[in-house]
Amino acid sequence: MSRLASNDALIRAMPAVFVLIWSTGFIVAKYGLPYAPPLSFLAIRYALSLLCFIAWIAVARVAWPTNRMQWLHLGVTGILIHAGYLSGVWSAIKGGMGSGLSALVVGLQPVLTAVWVSQIGESGTGKSRVSARQWLGLMLGLAGLLLVVSRKFGAGNEATAYTLAWAVFALLSITAGTLYQKRFVQSADVRSANAIQLGAALLVTLPFTFLETEAVQWTSGFVGALAWSVLGLTLGGSSLLYMLIQRGASTAVTSLLYLVPPTTALMAWLLFSETITMVTVAGTALTALGVSLVVRPSKAPV
């Protein structure tokens, strides 16, 4: 196989690999959070990931962005996609929300992204209004989420106002971060871009760790979850997300995320015996149908 063909195969595999890696983020949170408070875990993750990227940049002699505004835009993206999104997900799971349900809530990102792009456009110049089909998809997606969430209230308190607030915060953060990156961040090396994003996320997260009273327990489970968080999720998953956003439209990229909830639910069922009921399946399917109606491109006029 030629190098060109090999590169094409790797590019085509990127979306599938991204979905698999991104889905494990909810699983790793379940493994790591018994041994550490969420923000302390994330601060350690950011610091170690930043050191890995800096070492990689030094060895490969990667160039840093020279434009000050580019540093600013990358910093804002890092605060939204890393600090905002991850703190929301991890705090929701720490509060008792299951991995599958937290993934489902955040999986509504394609709906929000599609509606924003339809109303405002990726460049902020404005585009066509939301179509009737997209509004139908939005309503179906919300109905599917409510169907699943309604079964979680009162069942071990998996879904409470507290955990749902954190999950929605994560949803809004990653949606805003994806749109912001697509609009403002110029093309840059993924390693230096990630290093800047992680540095900004660490600066924002670190002060809040002093408010957490739970101590970090350096057990084998914690170290294993931390290792995968750094090597698999940050160096792998976050880098893939950055490259996918730079290569494609925001709506097309975020549409991959509606594949994350069922993948996460399957992993959580296998690893933690989290229940998958027919109501959960129906709600997830309804949400997926709604998202597909929103993100599906309109037919060109004849």
pLDDT in tens, 212-269: 999 999 999 899 999 999 998 888 887 787 777 666 555 555 556 666 777 777 787 7
User: For position 302, what pLDDT does the model report?
Assistant: 38
Separation of alpha carbons 206 and 211, rounded Å: 10
Separation of alpha carbons 93 and 7, rounded Å: 37
User: For position 144, what pLDDT does the model report?
Assistant: 78
Closest CA to 169 of 55, 260, 88: 88
Structure tokens at 265: 């639910």
User: For position 274, what pLDDT does the model report?
Assistant: 72
Residue with tokens 């997260």: 205
User: For position 38, what pLDDT does the model report?
Assistant: 95
User: For position 99, what pLDDT does the model report?
Assistant: 73
User: For position 168, what pLDDT does the model report?
Assistant: 92
Q: How far does Cα 80 stand from its chain's mean position?
A: 10
- The pTM of this model reads 0.78
**Do 203 and 138 form a contact (C-beta atoms < 8 A)?**
no
Mean pLDDT over 265-287 rounds to 78
DSSP single-letter state for residue 255: G
What residues contact 142, with CB distance under 8 A and at least 6 apart? 108, 111, 290
User: For position 109, what pLDDT does the model report?
Assistant: 77
Residue 270 or residue 296, greater confidence: 270
Tell me the pLDDT band of 300, cut-offs 50, 70 and 90. Answer: very low
Identify which of 166-175, 186-195, 198-207, 244-253 has the greatest average pLDDT: 198-207
Least confident of 131-135, 190-194, 195-199, 277-281: 131-135
Helices (H), the chain: 3-32, 38-60, 68-78, 85-94, 99-106, 109-119, 132-152, 161-184, 190-209, 220-228, 239-247, 250-254, 260-272, 278-295
Mean pLDDT over 185-192 rounds to 85
The predicted-structure confidence for 156-174, as pLDDT tens digits, reads as follows 556 788 888 999 999 999 9
Residue 52 or residue 152, greater confidence: 52
Torsional sign, CA 189, 8, 246, 89: negative
Residue with tokens 């929301």: 88
**Do 62 and 68 form a contact (C-beta atoms < 8 A)?**
no
Closest CA to 265 of 133, 107, 132: 107
**Do 49 and 85 form a contact (C-beta atoms < 8 A)?**
no
Separation of alpha carbons 197 and 63, rounded Å: 15
Quickly count: other Cβ atoms within 10 Å of residue 131's Cβ: 13
**Do 173 and 81 form a contact (C-beta atoms < 8 A)?**
yes
Burial (0-12, 13-18, 19+ Cβ within 10 Å), 179: buried
Separation of alpha carbons 9 and 101, rounded Å: 33
Mean pLDDT over 51-80 rounds to 93
